[in-house]
Amino acid sequence: MMMFRGERRSALLMLGVMLFACTGCTSEKEPQTKEMLAATSTASALQEEPRQPKKEHRSRFVPEEVREGDKVAGLTVRSVKVGQTPMYHVIMELDGELKMTGSYFRGPNEVYFYPDEATIERIPQVAGTKSPWTERYRFEFAEGKKDLGEALLGKAEVVTKSYTLRYVPDTDSQKGLLENGQSYLVLGDLKLSFEHERRMQDVAKPISIRVMERFHELSAEQESNALKSGWNEYRWKGMKVQLDTLNLWHPNREKPYVGGLIGNHAEVLRTETVQKDGLDLFYLKVERDRYDEKTMSYNGEMNYEYWLIAVYENASASRLSEARQIALTLVLTSEKEELPGAKAQLLELAKTWSLPPEDFFTT
């Protein structure tokens, strides 16, 4: 299409006007956009939650009120998880040193530490718990071997560097997941070990153990000279001697239920009451079917065992409303035949047996 000179000039003029108008629009919108961005940024800042100051919580605390960085019983909260699935649980990791005093007893590779009343008031616990959730703490014996020595029982001061509170009130090891002989509990992405306990217990890592009193061992310095042959075993006059710390259920001061102590394939032939260091002890003569390790069967022959049992009241069991005492036992085993004068010999050996005072487990 042909365009005359006049028409071309008019078209160019109109195009210039349009470009000028568009340029004006851009310059007017640009400051409006900056203002809008500034307003949006201000609104976002107003919507952000202000940082909550770190709180100090007492040893009895409400889990839903605790945040990371807070302090509970003087310990710093590294993490806290409160959940309802599959059951109510509180898992809290805390950092810092915690000093605990109480009693302990040894197992083959571990030490069980029971906090005393003063310590129970200081350790972290969920508010409203009727009794201390954690009855005892389990430490590897290697962690305190240097300080603990050979005694099976004592009083000690333990300092821990980290503490994990594991509050799961509606479960026990029988409801857990069993793997390789160990019970676990799965809570979402958490898999917690029962640490060979009946129910979930708190976990503490000791950095020092100072023993104040030691009991429940045989002294090798006496004339009888019982020689240590295992963590709780001795050899004396060619016979096996064993010390143990056992739970005594169905308490009866006059006649304790010893069936739970001596186990199966055994019969009590004689029971008496004797005294040692002002304490009443029970003397038992027990006949036991001998187990043949090679054939893995009972061979019809008998071993004879001679027991001394010291019974103690148990404060931690009382707090849990459990009918349970503690029995400290000294057992002398004679293979194949009865031991002449067994009672007199056992009492001779017991002169080297260090027993705690009667109120040991209640103070």
Residue 30: which pLDDT band, with cuts at 50, 70 and 90? very low
Dihedral (Cα; 108, 218, 212, 157), 10-degree rounding: 10
How many whole angstroms from its chain centre is CA 35? 60
Return the pLDDT at 258. Answer: 86
CB 177 within 8 A of CB 185: yes
* 22 φ/ψ angles, rounded to the nearest 5 degrees: -65, -40
Return the pLDDT at 79. Answer: 97
Considering the domain delimited by 227-350, tell me its CATH architecture: 3-Layer(aba) Sandwich (3.40)
Q: Half-sphere exposure of residue 341, counting CA atoms within 13 Å on the CB side?
A: 5
Determine whether 337 is exposed, middle or buried from the number of CB atoms within 10 Å of its CB (0-12, 13-18, 19+).
Answer: exposed
Residue 46 has pLDDT above 70, yes or no: no
Report, in angstroms and rounded to the nearest whole number, the Rg of the chain calculated over CA atoms.
36
Residue 61 has pLDDT above 90, yes or no: yes
In whole angstroms, what is the distance from residue 334 CA to residue 240 CA? 7
Residue 1 has pLDDT above 50, yes or no: no
Residue 28 has pLDDT above 70, yes or no: no
Residue 51 has pLDDT above 50, yes or no: yes
Write out the DSSP string of 109-167: SEEEEEE-HHHHTTS-EETT-SS-S---EEEEGGGTHHHHTT-SEEEEEEEEEEEEEEE
Return the pLDDT at 150. Answer: 84
* pLDDT greater at residue 77 or residue 259: 77
- Determine which of 30-39, 78-87, 202-211, 289-298 has the lowest per-residue pLDDT on average: 30-39
Domain ranges for the chain: 56-215, 227-350
* pLDDT greater at residue 238 or residue 163: 163
Q: Half-sphere exposure of residue 73, counting CA atoms within 13 Å on the CB side?
A: 27
Q: What is the mean pLDDT of the chain?
A: 82
In whole angstroms, what is the distance from residue 231 CA to residue 111 CA? 12
Q: How does strand 182-187 pair with strand 190-193? A: antiparallel
Type of residue at 85? T
